[in-house]
Structure 1
Amino acid sequence: MTLRSKLSLVAALTAGLALAACTTTKETTVFVPVVAPTPPSSLTPQPIMLFNQAKEGRKLFTLEAEFPYCDVETGKVIVVPRWYVTDFASVPWYGQGFIEPQGPTARAAIVHDWLYAVGEPGKRAEADAIFLRAMLKYGVKPFQANLAYQAVKTGGERGYALPGDWMFIDPRRQDVRQPPPFARPKTGAVRIMPRCQGFEALIQTGWRAYPLPRPVIAAPPPVTTTRTPIDDVRARLPWGGDKKK
Structure 2
Amino acid sequence: MRPIRTALLAAAALLGASILASCATETHQTVYIPVVAPTPPSSLTPQPVVLFNQTKAGRKLFTLDAEFPYCDVQTGKVIVVPRWYVTDFASVPWYGQGFIDPQGPTARAAIVHDWLYAVGEPGKREEADAIFHRAMLKYGVSPFHANIAYQAVRAGGQKGYGLPGDWWFVDPKRQDLRQPPPFPKPRSGAVRILPRCQGFGALIQSGWRAYPIKAPTVRVPPPVVVTRTPLDQVKQKLPWGADRKK
TM class by shorter chain equals: 0.7 to 0.9
- Residue 64 (1) aligns with residue 68 (2): no
| Residue identity matched to 1:143 | F
Identity value in percent: 79
TM-score by length of 2: 0.76
> Aligned residue for 2:135?
134
| 1:69-88 mapped onto 2 (5 Å cutoff) | 69-88=70-89
Q: Which secondary structure does the structure 2 equivalent of 1:216 belong to?
A: coil
- Moved runs in structure 1, 4+ residues, more than 6 A? 26-32, 223-226
> Aligned residue for 1:174?
175
Are the counterparts in 2 of residues 69 and 79 from structure 1 also a CA contact under 8 Å? yes
Q: CA deviation at 1:175?
A: 1.6
Runs (5+) with no aligned partner, structure 2: 1-26, 231-246
- Residue 42 (1) aligns with residue 71 (2): no
For 1:205 and 1:105, how far apart are their aligned partners in 2? 26
Q: CA deviation at 1:215?
A: 2.9
For 2:204 and 2:63, how far apart are their aligned partners in 1? 20
- Residue 144 (1) aligns with residue 151 (2): no
Bigger Cα displacement from structure 2, 197-206 vs 112-121: 197-206
For 1:64 and 1:134, how far apart are their aligned partners in 2? 21
Q: Which secondary structure does the structure 2 equivalent of 1:186 belong to?
A: coil
Q: Which secondary structure does the structure 1 equivalent of 2:46 belong to?
A: coil
Q: CA 1:183 to 1:28, structure 2 compared with 1: closer, same or farther past 3 Å?
A: same
Q: CA deviation at 1:89?
A: 0.6
| 1:6-17 mapped onto 2 (5 Å cutoff) | none
TM-score by length of 1: 0.76
| 1:114-133 mapped onto 2 (5 Å cutoff) | 114-133=115-134
Aligned length: 226
Q: CA deviation at 1:216?
A: 3.0
